[in-house]
Amino acid sequence: MKYILGLFAIVIGANVSIAQSSQSKPKLVVGIVVDQMRYDYLTRFEDGFGEGGFKRMMNEGFNCKNNHYNYVPTYTGPGHASIYTGTTPKSHGIISNSWYNKFENKSVYCAGDDEVQSVGTATNAGQMSPHRMLTTSFADENRLFTQMRGKTIGVSVKDRGAILPAGHTANAAYWFQGKLEGNFITSTHYMTELPKWVEKYNDGDHVSKYMKTWSTLENIVTYTQSGDDLNTFEGGFKGKETAEFPYDLKKLSPENGGFDILKSTPYGNSIVTDFAIAALEGEALGKDNHTDVLAVSFSSTDYIGHNFGVNSKEVQDTYLRLDRDLERFFNALDDKVGKGEYTVFLTSDHGAVNVPSYLRSVKIPAGYVNSNAQKQQFNNFMFNTYKSTELIKNVSNNQIFLDHEKIKALGLNLEEVKTAIVNEIVNYESVGKAYTSAAITTLGTANDVEQLVQNGFNQKRSGDIIFVNDPAVITYSKTGSTHGSGLNYDTHVPLLFFGKGIQKGSTFKPTKIVDIAPTISALLGISFPNGATGDILDFVID
């Protein structure tokens, strides 16, 4: 009898322990990716932030101030995949936004999938899925751990910004279809028809109300953390001669893709915020004891950075407005999930270089690749050396793909051809370093550009030669900013945690983007993503 009572007590104790364990977990994990957010935007624009957005995260949570990407190329697709899988393109396989598929002899898109159909649009904009991502995300592992009871929803303006973070097993990923539609859509990878709450959102006035004039949130004279509004370093919109405030979006929209113009304004972030808040209620996220995941990616910051550049008034205004959207989002989380019942992290998929033409104007080394001249020089080399320019299948993403069959047919040694090409292009004016694929796989693990290249190199998907441009030298227009390098302006991004289970504080200790997924996995007590190579940031967890 005592044995039975004792056993009963043990069972009761186990149940209490399980209940406490369940209660100690957040009801909802919210991952926020701010596309093209350099770390220094947190400090440059801090005086203009309110108390409820970025500052709330910094004051109530943990700020990793020395957080970097540990691979190249630093693009949107690889960035989102790395944040959620806890590994680099070397393992998860998303080596760029698009890349040359040497097995199919064509370019492929990181989220493109001809095997699925669009849902919510008659166009092919919904033919997307995460099938090219080779590993699981922490959202996938949470779904497996909870026997698929914990939900995962991805939301973004960009398809890849919603799809890759949500992972393979997500309940849904939604992205914005602009043009004449202005709706959120998805694919048959997730469902065959939109839920009622999404249809209700699309049928409402949520998007069209933002088709208005974009003026600065505050008096423009207070925007002293950015350059002159009128300058020669910005792109702007078709139909407006100068890239300066204000912008009449309704008037400009016909020449700028209809609703697509909103992507390149802060209102694109507001639309994503509106939709994410609608998802909280529509999907009943954080309402039971099974942790849910909401992956939110703010993409308009990237469109605006590409268009206007790092130092623009437009970028400053965008971050001040995003700060207000974050406050609105956090207030909704407090109300719908419960203050102290959710956990949030915020980071970015990459940074951005300051406009090289601007840098040169202040005597900082920078420049642009002369693609036509470089291509002609390379073709001349190939013809003079091998009497053929047909040994090259593709040049993209700073990679060269060779035609192995033609090289073999000419009786040439593949590795000797690779080495000769490396020795040629490393002398080009804009090229800083170049490597053969064989050299990359045998590089050491020193903390330098070679390791970054190695971590971004996928043996099956990457090219035969990889090259790296000089600092602040880009292949881009003379206006606006871009990204992709392993330099600090592209690798140094914010990493903020706050909410349930998170310590208060900050550190200058080096952290890596691939540390996020293992840290969230540890917080939830679930398996790490199956390819994760990052470390647990134990000093973040309370």
Query: What's phi and psi for 77, nearest 5 deg?
Result: -60, -55
Q: What b/e readout covers 233-242, taking b as 16+ CB neighbours within 10 angstroms?
A: bbbbbeeeee
Tokens 């080596």 sit at which residue? 95
Domain map (residue ranges) of the chain: 10-359+491-524, 370-429+431-469
Cβ–Cβ under 8 Å, residues 467 and 450? no
Tens digits of per-residue pLDDT, 346-375?
A: 999 999 999 999 999 999 999 999 999 999
Q: What is the pLDDT of residue 11?
A: 36
Determine the 3-state secondary structure of 319 from DSSP: helix
State how far the Cα of 120 lies from the Cα of 202, in Å rounded to an integer: 9
Residues 6+ apart with CB under 8 A from 327: 50, 51, 52, 53, 56
Tens digits of per-residue pLDDT, 114-129?
A: 999 999 999 999 999 9
Tens digits of per-residue pLDDT, 470-488?
A: 999 999 999 999 999 999 9
Q: Classify domain 370-429+431-469 at the CATH topology level.
A: Gyrase A; domain 2 (3.30.1360)
Which of 309, 219, 318 has the alpha carbon at shortest distance from 267? 318
Q: Of the CATH numbers 1.10.10.10, 3.40.1440.10, 3.40.720.10, 3.40.50.300, which one belongs to the domain with range 10-359+491-524?
A: 3.40.720.10
Residues 6+ apart with CB under 8 A from 131: 113, 115, 168, 189
Give me the mean pLDDT over the 322-326 stretch.
98
Q: How large a percentage of the chain has pLDDT more than 70?
A: 95
pLDDT at 232 over 80: yes
Q: What is the pLDDT of residue 2?
A: 38
- Structure-block tokens of residue 434: 């170049």
State how far the Cα of 477 lies from the Cα of 161, in Å rounded to an integer: 24
Mind telling me the catalytic residues?
Answer: 76
Tens digits of per-residue pLDDT, 263-310?
A: 999 999 999 999 999 999 999 999 999 999 999 999 999 999 999 999
